[in-house]
Amino acid sequence: MILKPLTGRAVSRACGRFMDSKPSKLLIKPFVKKNGIDLNDYYSDDFQCFNDCFTRKIHEELRPVDRDNNALIAPCDGLLSAYKIETDMVMPAKQSWYTVKSLLGGSSDAVKFEDGICLVFRLCTDDYHRYIYFDSGIKSDNVFIPGRLHTVRPVALKSVPVFTENCREYTIMETKNFGTVAQIEVGAMLVGKIKNNDRQSGTFMRGQKKGMFMYGGSTIILLFEKDKVHLPKAVMQATWREKEIPVQMGQKIGETVQNV
């Protein structure tokens, strides 16, 4: 009840406008200190507003991209969970269930991912908030689904179908090595904008910059077809113990099935 007034997009937009303003610079030093951020790791510390700091660009050598075609890489920094898609349903351990069709706003593309794998990358406020394409291929136009902006913390997921209520943007990708994949960027409480670089259909390359989130926590979801990706057993086991695995953008987290 306390958080509900903050879930509306109007509140998020107002917060976003402030975070884009010069007075928001006053929040930068406390934010950097609290989260132990070393600004030497980034290209600039001449930030004109808080969002300049929040979306800071890291030196490439600190986020190397695994170029092995068989490697499944993380598209972003964050905390990873992995789930089997049973028919159309994703069943988080002891959390609210949701369907692929609801994630995709009712799209008929949902049937492509029946019995596949759903990967959830939860970005915390202090994470690096830019993200990349995890493989090369061809993409459709992005689809934006308006909604509310609940927090994406696990405590919220237990009582609210956050990923199907929050505003989000998705694209269907025909990838070189992993078949048809849906990537969904999910906004969260006080995140005013999901900023993708290319919203129209076209080609993309592994490691290419896809976009970034403005202020707040956020989530990226990847949906894979059946028998297209292999994950280490430790990843699935950690998820069922309700443990999230820290990963970094470009890091190998799995591989193609044909390489197993």
In angstroms, how far apart are the furthest CA atoms of the chain? 53
Q: Are strands 179-186 and 168-175 parallel, antiparallel or unpaired?
A: antiparallel
Q: What is the pLDDT of residue 151?
A: 44
Q: Which residue has the tokens 């994406």?
A: 152
Q: What is the pLDDT of residue 6?
A: 47
Q: If we measure between CA atoms, which residue out of 59, 79, 117, 67 comes closest to residue 247? A: 79
Which amino acid is residue 94, in one-letter code? K
Q: What is the pLDDT of residue 45?
A: 78
Q: What are phi and psi for residue 82, nearest 5 degrees? A: -135, 135
Q: What is the pLDDT of residue 142?
A: 97
Torsion (CA) 42, 43, 47, 52 in degrees, nearest 10: -70
Domain residue ranges of the chain, discontinuous segments joined by +: 62-259
Q: What is the pLDDT of residue 258?
A: 78
Instruction: Write 142-145 long-range contacts (CB < 8 A, 24+).
Output: 142/169, 142/170, 142/171, 142/196, 142/198, 142/199, 142/200, 143/104, 143/105, 143/107, 143/169, 143/170, 143/171, 144/168, 144/169, 144/194, 145/105, 145/169, 145/170
The stretches in the chain having pLDDT less than 70 are 1-13, 93-96, 147-164, 189-192, 216-217, 259-260
Q: If we measure between CA atoms, which residue out of 139, 178, 191, 159 comes closest to residue 6? A: 191
User: Is there a catalytic annotation at residue 115?
Assistant: no
Q: Using H for helix, E for strand and C for coil, what is the string for 84-104?
A: EEECCEECCCCCCCEEHHHHC
Q: What is the pLDDT of residue 94?
A: 52
User: Is there a catalytic annotation at residue 218?
Assistant: yes
Intra-chain end-to-end CA distance of the chain, in Å: 48
Residue 126 near residue 56, CB atoms below 8 Å: no
Structure tokens at 148: 């509310």
Q: In what order do the strands lie in the sheet with 130-132?
A: 130-132, 209-213, 194-196
| Distance from C-alpha of 78 to C-alpha of 84, rounded to nearest angstrom | 20
Which amino acid is residue 107, in one-letter code? S
Active-site pick, 12, 24, 77, 109 = 77
pLDDT in tens, 151-172: 444 444 444 445 667 788 999 9
Q: What is the pLDDT of residue 61?
A: 97
